[in-house]
Amino acid sequence: MLKKCVALFCLSVLPFSLMAWGVQGHRVVAKIAENHLSKKAKDQITLLLGSERFPLTASWADEVRNSPEFEGTGPWHFINTPLGLPFDQYVGVVKELKDPNAYIALTQNLKDLKDPGKTKEQKLVALKFVVHIVGDVHQPMHVSRAEDKGGNAIQVKYQGKDTNLHSLWDSGLLDYEGMTYSELAVLLDKPTPLQVQQWQKDDITKWLWESYSISQQLYAETEKSATFDYKYVPAHLPTVEDRLLQAGIRLAGVLNAVFG
């Protein structure tokens, strides 16, 4: 977590769209990951991407989700389960799910990246999905419950404007008013060696569990009051920062493992 002064600085220059991953948020995750890639992983990724810049591929999966070629990948961006599950039971439920979801898609695309039988084009597609999905599963409202469509069906009011709980956290582009994704990545990319080691050791189900636990807290807050004022952003900014940083470090970890 960044120091309070940094958080307040970010808050002072960022509009409400901070509370979204969006294009910029996904690029922040990818840029942080790029900073922690091994040389071998960087070389292999460069061979796949060619002239494409790694951070700029992070939103590709959102851009193609409605195209005929990738029809049906919409469910790859989230995973929904009932609330109130303890960790072991939650992991069991996640692993038993059969319908397409972020966990199944992430594990399959990681396998495709390792598969020597896949073509370069197939591996490139798998890489882009991995980069994006790792970001998605660190966004709490992408790991929530099905009955309200991940908070999309829960109406809330923020600063006098009507929205819904999911949109509050994932509503579109991040507009940093002059702060680029690479500049924000510099501000956030301050993990300790111990944090890097621990976060990269954690299983994917642990990443999901963390977001699941946060989304439960967000649901509980909304049940008390669905009207949020100016205090909402500073109260949740540390969570946003932590999840973006963890996503970047863990993305680097899985890619180093795949290409190492």
Domain boundaries, the chain: 4-70+93-259
Query: If you average pLDDT over residues 187-204, what whole number do you get?
Result: 97
In CATH terms, 4-70+93-259 corresponds, of 1.10.150.120, 1.20.140.10, 1.10.575.10, 1.20.120.420, to 1.10.575.10
Tokens at residue 30, please?
Answer: 């990818």
The pTM for the full model equals: 0.90
| pLDDT given at position 179 | 66
Return mean pLDDT, the chain. 88
- Which tens digit of pLDDT belongs to each residue from 25-42? 899 999 999 999 999 999
Query: If you average pLDDT over residues 6-30, what whole number do you get?
Result: 60
Highest mean pLDDT out of 4-8, 127-131, 236-240: 127-131
| pLDDT given at position 260 | 85
- Secondary structure letter of residue 1 according to DSSP: -
- Give yes or no for residue 20 having a pLDDT over 60: no
> What is the C-alpha to C-alpha distance for residues 170 and 79, in angstroms, rounded to an integer?
15
Report residue 217's pLDDT band, with 50, 70 and 90 as the boundaries: very high
Report residue 18's pLDDT band, with 50, 70 and 90 as the boundaries: very low
Query: CA dihedral in degrees (235, 139, 80, 114; nearest 10)?
Result: -160
- Residue 174 backbone phi and psi in degrees, to 5: -95, 125
Question: Under 8 Å CB-to-CB from 61, ≥6 apart: which residues?
Answer: 73, 76, 77, 128, 129, 131, 132, 133
Query: If you average pLDDT over residues 61-90, what whole number do you get?
Result: 94
Judge contact between 78 and 143, C-beta under 8 A: yes
Judge contact between 139 and 170, C-beta under 8 A: yes
> What is the C-alpha to C-alpha distance for residues 70 and 79, in angstroms, rounded to an integer?
18
> What is the C-alpha to C-alpha distance for residues 133 and 74, in angstroms, rounded to an integer?
11
Query: If you average pLDDT over residues 131-142, what whole number do you get?
Result: 95
Tokens at residue 129, please?
Answer: 């999905």
The backbone region for 199, taken as left when phi is positive above 0, alpha when psi lies in -120 to 50, beta otherwise, is: alpha
| pLDDT given at position 171 | 54
